[in-house]
Structure 1
């Protein structure tokens, strides 16, 4: 297998891009045709199990073999020929922590798990055309669980009750999936739905504003989101940064400065705005989206290193 060196690691030249869920505008629901899982706040990962040739990588093919050795070493031990889809999750005080996994080099003392929720291949057989409930039954029967490798359980029909429990536990939300859904790699499907407790989404960083007297480097990051294949301005986020984070982010985005607005439909450049090539994605928590499409009361959570 060939590799391509990129910033932050090694990218595989051939990999499987996982299927994605669609963000739901509707609340949690009950339906006998659907099953429901906890939405884990971590990094999506695909594992190709084949002894010493086992590979663990991100949704865009970034190798995780060395990034998460505790998980990789457990996967290598598994005497199973399979392709698994799941989430790498780091726990702080018993709860999934996105910031902990983002800074895993300094949080390796915290528990880490690969929580597996789907099986795409087994013993060379393609399972993507199987029903989800059938794939999960196969997965549960072959997965060798440990403190690090876990099967993602689910409830059938009772989505409202699971969402209420997730809310009480202050989890990010739940994933609703049609029990008969097939698996479509590299596709976003409405047969899988993200139902979030808190509004947390990914945005492209398209620039920054001038720093203020109270802080160095920059005042806020300028954000955009993808709507129907186009980048649309989504406002700015100016909270959630430490001084060290401000410094490291500025070092990444300042060399990307451009004169032209990187949006498909340009917006007016306000005083103090600096445009940048939209290379980096970040995760932002917010209360709601305003009528003009801007995030309201946002807080920066971290860079999406897997995107």
Structure 2
């Protein structure tokens, strides 16, 4: 049974339109490689973990094939992929939340390796050999008009857009600008209330309704060395205490962060440092 390491995406900051590209919604789930050979289906995460037993709905008869896509659970109210529900299904042995496997590429069919074909030729094969079902569907795309799709994505508060060069080959396990992603980030201003003693991380707080501050997560990404140096150069007088893992400080230093979304428990999902609001 064949696992193919999935192609990775470069990231760009702004949406664009270009007739050389197609544009797809970015599905907020987890990457899944479906590999079927000799009537046996196996499912793999992007890191080659076999998760076949977790998704029996995707085990079905059909041609020998390797597909690349995103596994998601949709919010029943909005029909939009819900990452927390997706992780709840992934992490539970008993959950049977309904899944949707959204397929965006085909890498092998009936013993033929398709990765050196241009993207649009692979898409034509995918359209011919994969039929939509209650648990599997081919991703929709728009030709050239990336900014129009971006506006629709932002209006629905979805994760972002993927731009794919029409002539792009499938570069296994590599990150190239043939395929790029544009993330629909949310922004927030936070107070830095402490820092981790081991691996880098700043504790982020935001104002609480009714007064005071509440924790919303740890900032680990996006902080330049110069900003770390500036922070640690001025923070010592602000220290209020510590425990085994963290040093706590008066939350006087503020920063802007970008993040995927607020979780249902009111935390920042994957916060990335943008800048200090008042430079230290």
Q: Give the TM-score, by structure 2 length.
A: 0.69
Given the alignment of the two structures, is residue 175 of structure 1 paired with residue 171 of structure 2, yes or no?
no
Distance 1:287 1:65 in 2: 31
Kept after mapping to 2: 8 A contact 1:45/1:86: yes
Partner of 2:83: 98
Partner of 1:63: 50
Kept after mapping to 1: 8 A contact 2:23/2:163: yes
Kept after mapping to 1: 8 A contact 2:32/2:69: yes
1:107 offset after TM fit, Å? 8.9
Kept after mapping to 1: 8 A contact 2:18/2:144: yes
Kept after mapping to 2: 8 A contact 1:199/1:286: no
What SS class does the counterpart of residue 31 from structure 1 fall into? coil
Distance 1:287 1:222 in 2: 7
Partner of 1:157: 144
The aligned length equals 227
Distance 1:110 1:81 in 2: 27
Moved more, 37-46 or 185-194: 185-194
Distance 1:154 1:192 in 2: 13
Kept after mapping to 1: 8 A contact 2:54/2:93: no
Partner of 1:289: 273
Alignment of 1:132-147 (within 5 A): 132-147=119-134
Alignment of 1:133-282 (within 5 A): 133-199=120-186, 206=199, 222-225=218-221, 272=242, 274=245
What SS class does the counterpart of residue 114 from structure 1 fall into? strand
Taking a change above 3 Å as real, the CA distance of residues 194 and 208 of structure 1, as seen in their structure-2 partners, is closer
Distance 1:221 1:286 in 2: 9
Taking a change above 3 Å as real, the CA distance of residues 126 and 232 of structure 1, as seen in their structure-2 partners, is farther
Distance 1:107 1:168 in 2: 34
Kept after mapping to 1: 8 A contact 2:39/2:63: no
Kept after mapping to 2: 8 A contact 1:119/1:135: yes
1:193 offset after TM fit, Å? 1.1
1:45 offset after TM fit, Å? 0.6
Q: CA RMSD in A?
A: 3.6
Distance 1:291 1:122 in 2: 48
Partner of 1:255: none
Kept after mapping to 1: 8 A contact 2:43/2:52: yes
Partner of 2:72: 89
Taking a change above 3 Å as real, the CA distance of residues 138 and 165 of structure 1, as seen in their structure-2 partners, is same
Distance 2:216 2:199 in 1: 11
Structure 2 unaligned regions, length at least 5: 188-197, 206-214, 247-258, 261-267
Taking a change above 3 Å as real, the CA distance of residues 65 and 24 of structure 1, as seen in their structure-2 partners, is same
Partner of 1:48: 35
Structure of larger gyration radius: 2
Distance 1:189 1:199 in 2: 25
Structure 1 unaligned regions, length at least 5: 2-13, 213-218, 236-264, 276-281, 293-307
Distance 1:22 1:89 in 2: 22
